[in-house]
Every structure is written in C-alpha cells, then in structure tokens.
C-alpha cells in the first residue's frame, strides 16, 4: 500500500511523458536541419533551384572541391620549398601562369615583396588568383571565401586578413574596364 501511494505521488509530481513533451525533448536534442531554419520567401519571390548547393553544404571540410584546393595549395607550397617536387596535374595548369600571377601579387601588395610573403599565404594567393583570372566560371566570392578558409586552416593569425585584402585588390585589377 505504501509503495502504491509513493507511485501515485511520483506520477502526480512527475507525470509520464506524453507525445508532445517527447517531441519537444527530441527536438531540443536534435536541432532542425539548416534548411528547416530558412524562412519561406515572400509572395512573388522565387526560390533557388532544388539541386543548388546551399551555403551549409559548401562549408563542409569533406567537400571534394575544398579537398582538391587543399591538395593544390600543399603541392604549390612543396614546389616553393623544393622545386624538384612532382607537381599534381591540377598544379601543372597553374605553373605556366606563375609569373603573371606573381606580378599581380606584387602590384596588389607592394609593401610585401614576394620573398617576404609567408610561403603558405603565397601558395594560397597563387591558387586563388589562378582561379580568379584563368578559370572565370568560378564566382569570385567563392574563390575568395575558399582562399580565406584555407588561410584560416594553414596560415598564421594574420593570413586570412592579408589574403582577403590582397584578393580584393586583385579582383579590382582583373575587372577593370
């Protein structure tokens, strides 16, 4: 009898969960997907194509494009340190353009001679400028954003700001009428 009273007391004090409270608890334990957080567009506006890449998908570290850029930056860096390093196929496309790319870097960062630029930053700049100037279908914002992300990963604390500023200046020169 005492146990039954105790169980009644516990049930009154802590009622068993109903479906609504279970849903609320599981929702807080499992946050909604990023797409669920996007508000519906106002009437008359169109939405992105269903197969378009969302901002959240582009920021993934296992994105094949990001991994390819990482490999190219590492290979460009290795070529700077040891010129006899074997170039990746993607890197061999950049190498013939290095003098033009380096001229742009000197023009956009005159206070930094090439010999004084951090070698990692130089490799990131070279890849990004190649993408901006010689592979036009890639949107400039994507190229700069990716270069800044690479700088955050591989460069110093000052690298992201330096890369962003230099590429902004390069973009102005490339898109001059």
Q: Are residues 30 and 113 in the same domain?
A: no
Task: Kindly state the average pLDDT of the residues 85-105.
Answer: 95
Structure-model confidence comparison of residues 97 and 138, the more confident one: 97
- The answer as to whether 104 is a domain residue is yes
Q: Are residues 14 and 99 in the same domain?
A: no
- The answer as to whether 42 is a domain residue is no
User: What is the tens place of the pLDDT at every residue in 14-65?
Assistant: 445 554 544 444 444 444 444 433 344 444 444 444 444 444 444 667 889 8
As for how many domains the chain has, the answer is 2
CATH number, domain of 96, equals: 1.10.940.10
- The answer as to whether 52 is a domain residue is no
Residues spanned by the domain of 130: 58-174
Q: Are residues 94 and 156 in the same domain?
A: yes
- The answer as to whether 46 is a domain residue is no
Give the count of beta carbons closer than 10 Å to the beta carbon of residue 90.
15
Q: Is 133 exposed, middle or buried (0-12, 13-18, 19+ CB in 10 A)?
A: middle
**pLDDT at residue 92, rounded to an integer:** 95
The angle subtended at Cα 89 by Cα 88 and Cα 92, nearest 5°, is: 85
Q: Are residues 114 and 145 in the same domain?
A: yes
From the list 125, 132, 114, 111, the residue with the least C-alpha distance to 159 is 125
Q: Are residues 21 and 63 in the same domain?
A: no
Q: Are residues 91 and 162 in the same domain?
A: yes
User: What is the tens place of the pLDDT at every residue in 141-163?
Assistant: 999 999 999 999 999 999 999 99
- The answer as to whether 43 is a domain residue is no
């Amino acid at each position: 009898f005492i146990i039954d009273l105790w169980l009644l007391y516990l049930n009154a004090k802590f009622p068993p969960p109903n479906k609504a409270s279970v849903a609320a608890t599981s929702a807080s334990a499992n946050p909604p997907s990023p797409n669920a957080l996007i508000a519906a567009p106002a009437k008359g506006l169109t939405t992105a194509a269903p197969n378009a890449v969302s901002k959240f998908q582009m920021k993934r570290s296992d994105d094949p494009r990001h991994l390819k850029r990482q490999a190219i930056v590492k290979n460009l860096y290795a070529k700077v340190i040891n010129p006899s390093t074997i170039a990746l196929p993607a890197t061999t496309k950049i190498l013939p353009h290095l003098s033009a790319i380096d001229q742009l870097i000197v023009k956009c960062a005159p206070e930094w001679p090439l010999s004084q630029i951090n070698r990692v930053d130089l490799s990131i700049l070279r890849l990004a400028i190649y993408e901006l100037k010689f592979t036009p279908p890639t949107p400039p914002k994507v190229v700069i954003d990716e270069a800044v992300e690479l700088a955050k990963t591989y460069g110093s604390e000052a690298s992201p700001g330096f890369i962003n500023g230099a590429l902004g200046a390069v973009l102005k020169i490339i898109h001059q009428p």
